[in-house]
Structure 1
């Protein structure tokens, strides 16, 4: 098997050894859940429940009409205690539904799942409706509605399972490959059927090659594969950001997503391991996306673990229960996600969301911040950029307020992976500039469109 990769990229310290040998542990009891109402990329939704109302696990508690909406479900059975703004994992306040667990009335079930649905005996429309009804979003970080991604308007040649997990520290996807590979493969065949793709590829970085025999066995034993479906494993070079959609597609197929384009433009659909497992559960068990797996690790975490917990679980409650032991004296930074693309937060009293792949409790040594200096025109950022844009020139355009030039250089093609900032000897805050630049450019375009009207 040839090992493939992409142009550019970097090799940050992996630091996966702290948690990669730890089997997935299920959190079965929490004192409360704080469920953000809006956990997806798209139009906002609204609560469907009221304070004081009893809800069952799996019951829909927020939704709205619209293609770019995804419902949210109660992750535990209990009583709605509050509906109020709370701090979320994107470092902004948003409306949250606070539920206190409570047993149901005698003789009633604590669950409100859907009936199982055979993905190979239903129509594409029924499959997409089930995926939306289950509240499934991209669980690798983006939170894009899965039912929209899996309704491409162009023919699909490949379904790619993103098992690269290229972010340092994070190991939850690796554990899924080792512990529940059959569920990952089941998710792949369901997506292949939904988008009518002839081939599935499970992409695994070479630092996880020990998981390949487990995944291959699951492929060989899958009934749909035995019936003729084609799935293969592709080993990839360990390099960041190998897990980026565009990087995966280039490495596996040789195709390049055009500027401003989508994976479907080159006949591909890419789904994260967690998303695939959630899709399998939605069909086989009728289970909505009410819990997720994530890694808790870092220099200030005394007990690095891979957990599955209800959506809305506060990390602070995990600490209080002794499930995770945190050294508050050495804690320097809290990051939800990975160290390269995650979001730094003011505390760990934050709920786990559908797109939370990891919680990093970094020590002061790990979280050291360097003083920013002036660009020395070394070109390292240009060589490292996986999307072939010129980060140094892009930063100059944004700093000078020339957003037309920034767009021309490729601002909107930036995937905010952080490779440019990582290699910069002047410690320039390049990604932060690009994020702000995108916001300003969108606002300018919106204003321009309004003026045209």
Structure 2
């Protein structure tokens, strides 16, 4: 990794495209059925605890965490289980899923009552019961993240630096009370003295609101962030907010994590979800999704039951414009999101965007040969050298990739965005990282 380069000064100046930021969240009608995968988080998949024909309600446990690094999964609707079967996810992974036919009543499970929290252990137990994961995109189980005892600073990620996405902005404007109560609970029961709420400067209303609400909160501050992508990337955010760097290698010899520099990062909607659960006892069963792009009739922020198929979300937003040929469906933001081959996939806990682009907008220019201009290096927030890594990967040079720190790539897409030749730089980086990690695992097993 390049030394002496501040991550906060790197990245890309991407267009903001926040057209839905001023639109209040709309509750979509209950779909006829949902498909809820048992793998909506990093770690072991959940194990289904229901079977075909079972009656479920909103908040009913349908998947039990398959280990410590895992998460519970609950029904987002009331109705009848149609099937429990294997499905292929939009990213190609295969897992079990629970399909539910809804009854339209949205009856709440009577077991959904506020938990009793008196200390750190009971807070972590409540978070496990809630099924809370990082809803900003990563999907890491929250109870695992907060288990560390080395944390002195809680960082709330409200940067929302991806173009188009405005779900976190709406969370701050619409659910500020549960954001504050969630922060208060984490600081109190995890004994974390400091909290920094990081918000990009393109959200002045959110900054002003958070400033006013935290003015008298001991240890809590709001930090306006530079408008430079990927400001919300975990390591970039930590450095911008605290000046600390996550070590490449922890004292244990494993890859460094935020806790190794005394920090833990929570997405603003994640901490708000915790606040809601502590108040109502309703686990994570719904998701606010930004639906936008030049192909959709009515761009908006819509609250959907988890497991709702993309096509039902699109229909709730007026469908595709009649005079437009749909070219691409992207789940997530345009920088780090993925392209979906169809609209027959479900919304997951960590999905925060559904972008629909016309054929014209989605058509990429032909890639030209690399001119070795170095713009990908200048843009990389981790100080990596994509143009050299591409050669190392082509030669399958494990030692060279290790030396170039390929495992630090955060897949932000800044390199591709900056490339004047329009080469698939980030895709090559992803392939190189996957190959390197596979080789590393095989070497460790020998």
TM-score interval for Structure 1 and Structure 2 normalised by the shorter chain: over 0.9
2: CA distance, partners of 1:60 / 1:295: 27
Aligned residue pairs, count? 434
Contact 1:182 1:219 in 2 (8 A): no
1:127 aligns with 2:113: no
Q: Alignment partner of 1:381: what SS?
A: helix
1: CA distance, partners of 2:395 / 2:206: 49
**Post-superposition shift, 1:161?**
0.8
Contact 1:33 1:98 in 2 (8 A): yes
1:167 aligns with 2:173: no
1: CA distance, partners of 2:244 / 2:111: 40
- Shift of the 244–173 alpha-carbon distance from structure 1 to 2, 3 Å rule, reads same
Contact 1:241 1:417 in 2 (8 A): yes
1: CA distance, partners of 2:190 / 2:23: 35
Deviates more, 1:352-361 or 1:188-197: 188-197
Q: Which residue of 1 aligns with 2:219?
A: 230
Q: Which residue of 2 aligns with 1:82?
A: 83
1:322-373 Cα distance to aligned partner (Å, 9 max, x none) = 4443226331110100000001111222211000010011122321212223
2: CA distance, partners of 1:130 / 1:234: 29
Q: Which residue of 2 aligns with 1:326?
A: 320
1:365-408 Cα distance to aligned partner (Å, 9 max, x none) = 32121222322110111111111111111111111111221121
Q: How does 1:204-283 map to 2 (within 5 A)?
A: 204-220=199-215, 225=217, 229-259=218-248, 260-283=255-278
1:406 aligns with 2:401: yes
**Post-superposition shift, 1:220?**
4.5
1: CA distance, partners of 2:222 / 2:364: 39
Q: Which residue of 1 aligns with 2:43?
A: 42
- Shift of the 68–330 alpha-carbon distance from structure 1 to 2, 3 Å rule, reads same
Deviating beyond 4 angstroms after TM superposition, the runs of 4 or more aligned structure 1 residues are: none
Contact 2:78 2:107 in 1 (8 A): no
1:142 aligns with 2:131: no
Decide which of 8, 11, 28 is 1:9's aligned counterpart.
Answer: 11
- Shift of the 422–109 alpha-carbon distance from structure 1 to 2, 3 Å rule, reads closer
Q: How does 1:363-402 map to 2 (within 5 A)?
A: 363-402=358-397
1:359 aligns with 2:360: no
Contact 1:33 1:314 in 2 (8 A): yes
Q: Alignment partner of 2:329: what SS?
A: strand
2: CA distance, partners of 1:372 / 1:381: 15
**Post-superposition shift, 1:271?**
0.6
1: CA distance, partners of 2:40 / 2:397: 33
Contact 2:47 2:66 in 1 (8 A): no
Contact 1:295 1:305 in 2 (8 A): yes
Contact 1:57 1:110 in 2 (8 A): yes
What is the root-mean-square deviation in Å for CA atoms of aligned residues? 2.0
Contact 1:375 1:428 in 2 (8 A): yes
TM-score (norm 1): 0.91
Contact 1:34 1:351 in 2 (8 A): yes
Deviates more, 1:205-214 or 1:334-343: 205-214
1: CA distance, partners of 2:268 / 2:195: 13
2: CA distance, partners of 1:443 / 1:236: 36
Q: Alignment partner of 1:159: what SS?
A: strand
Q: Alignment partner of 2:81: what SS?
A: strand
Q: Alignment partner of 2:301: what SS?
A: strand
**Post-superposition shift, 1:146?**
0.4
Q: Which residue of 2 aligns with 1:57?
A: 58
Q: Alignment partner of 1:75: what SS?
A: coil
TM-score (norm 2): 0.93
- Shift of the 112–351 alpha-carbon distance from structure 1 to 2, 3 Å rule, reads farther
Q: How does 1:286-301 map to 2 (within 5 A)?
A: 286-301=281-296
2: CA distance, partners of 1:62 / 1:147: 17
Q: Alignment partner of 2:355: what SS?
A: strand
Gaps of 5+ in 1: none
2: CA distance, partners of 1:191 / 1:33: 32
Q: Alignment partner of 1:207: what SS?
A: coil
1:165-223 Cα distance to aligned partner (Å, 9 max, x none) = 000000111111112112212222222224321111111111001222222333258xx
Contact 2:299 2:317 in 1 (8 A): no
Q: Which residue of 1 aligns with 2:252?
A: none
